[in-house]
Amino acid sequence: MSDSARDSVLAPLDARMADLESLYEDLHRHPELGFQETRTAAEAARRLTSYGYEVTTGIGRTGVTGVLRNGPGPVVLLRADMDALPVTERSALPYASAVPGVMHACGHDVHVTCLAGAADLLAAGREHWSGTLVVLFQPAEEVGDGARAMIEDGLFGTAEAGAGASTDDGTSTDDGAGTDDGTSTDGAAAGPGRQGLVPTPDVVLAQHVAPLGAGLISYAPGACMAASDSLKITFHGTGGHGSRPETAVDPIVMAAAFVQRLQTVVAREVAPKDRAVVTVGSFQAGDAPNVIPDQAVVQLSVRTFDEDVRGRVLAAIDRIAKAEATASGAPREPETEVLNTFPVTRNDDRTLEQVNAAFTDHFGAQRLFGYEPAAGSEDAGLIATAAGAPLYYWWLGGWDPDEFRAAMSSGRLAQDIPSNHSPHFTPVKQPTLTMGVQALTVAALSHLEPRR
């Protein structure tokens, strides 16, 4: 697409920015947890309808899609997640969260706002491109179930009776053919032979706001985000009086020893050239100071980039848990429950190069830089895998540029710039929102056919 045509599509953004900033403030003030995003979904659907999209709601419980058919050409899917986190906000923003204990601490309010803005611009500028645009507002990314729920609800449909069911890793076994109009009246689950709720995309594009300087875009070729396994391990002991520990088997000591020994998995069982993270995020046991409980529950997160490393780390965790239980004389083995799992998020090389060329042309090479793969995890890759489409997922800077530069020059990025999931993670509105809307729009236009 020519620079002039792209600039024409982007031209209305300045006039629309005040409305988008108001939307962002409203979303930040009213965060909703996974599968509870009814207010956010309703606003997304309202806006898409006003822009002229075919809208489907209730996919995977609260997911929303919009389809804009604009002649022959590729099908491009733009995705944003909507859910917030169970975090109490610690900012002094005038639009800080009004929901106790819930906050947009991962920037999904930025994602929704930017996708709404891009959907508006691309619809208004449809005379400059040809193809089909699918915009997808996804629930419950933080708990790892949102993308899978939308896929299982018939996002890309089923090829024939009994086929197309989602596999354990959330991928689809069908060919994902779309219906003639790609719409649904209720978002109900796909039945035998049912076509998709949206056309199957030729490419999936998504972005995530990050604690980088606003106005920057970063990327990682190949594996850009880690696989994640969240586990809940219950250690069983024998309860008793705190004054008579000899009559009990203490699960707190057992689980504490497990947590300590767990630190050796990465330090001593994973080669330095490989990457893995094992983090215990929850330890729960007992209710009284003078009572030895009969169980202790540990919840932990595992991040890896390689399937072999993942298998070895999970096996080590299981081995250590059982060994500590045996060493403590536990009445039975610990029980492990898998809470959620994300696959590795992989960027397609060709798609990355194509979109980055468009980014460089529009933003300038100084705004774009390669970055280390993130140990965080995502489920956007499930959507691309289910569609059989390539994925490009990039990072959008969201922190105050001056503060970011100062922290970088002093070597204090980790100390001075809050990370995602922090109660202080509050991206600046500008230039974050402008850059995010432009990035999604430019990325979509890099794949849609130009109209001559």
DSSP string spanning 3-54? HHHHHHHHTTHHHHHHHHHHHHHHHHHS---TT--HHHHHHHHHHHHHHT-E
Angle between helices 349-363 and 432-445 (to 10 degrees): 120
Residue 39 burial (10 A CB sphere; 0-12, 13-18, 19+)? middle
CA distances from 64 to 26, 29, 39, 149, 322 (A): 19, 21, 12, 12, 44
Tokens of 83: 């859910």
Phi-psi region for residue 277, left (φ > 0), alpha (ψ -120 to 50) or beta?
Answer: beta
For residue 237, how far is the Cα from the chain centroid?
A: 37
DSSP label of 196? B
Quote the tokens at residue 267: 């330090």
Q: Which helix (H) or strand (E) holds 235?
A: strand 227-236
Q: How much is the pLDDT for 38?
A: 98
The residue to which tokens 């449909």 are assigned: 157
pLDDT of residue 191: 43
φ and ψ of 65, to 5 deg = -130, 150
User: How many angstroms from the chain centroid is the CA of residue 378?
Assistant: 4
In degrees rounded to 5, what are phi and psi of residue 392? Answer: -130, 125
Burial of 6 (0-12, 13-18, 19+ CB in 10 A): buried
Neighbours of 408 (CB within 10 A): 14
Q: Is the dihedral of CA 182, 185, 187, 190 positive or negative?
A: negative
Q: What is the pLDDT of residue 149?
A: 97
Strand partners, 196: 178
Q: What is the pLDDT of residue 158?
A: 65
Residue ranges of the chain with per-residue pLDDT less than 70: 158-194
Q: List residues bridging with 306 in a β-sheet.
A: none
Q: Are 41 and 139 in contact (CB under 8 A)?
A: yes
Q: What is the pLDDT of residue 183?
A: 36
Task: Tokens for 309, please give them.
Answer: 């490393």
- Asked if 418 and 411 count as a contact pair (C-beta separation under 8 A), the reply is no
CB 101 within 8 A of CB 419: no
Q: What one-letter code names the amino acid at 128?
A: H
Q: What is the DSSP letter of 419?
A: P
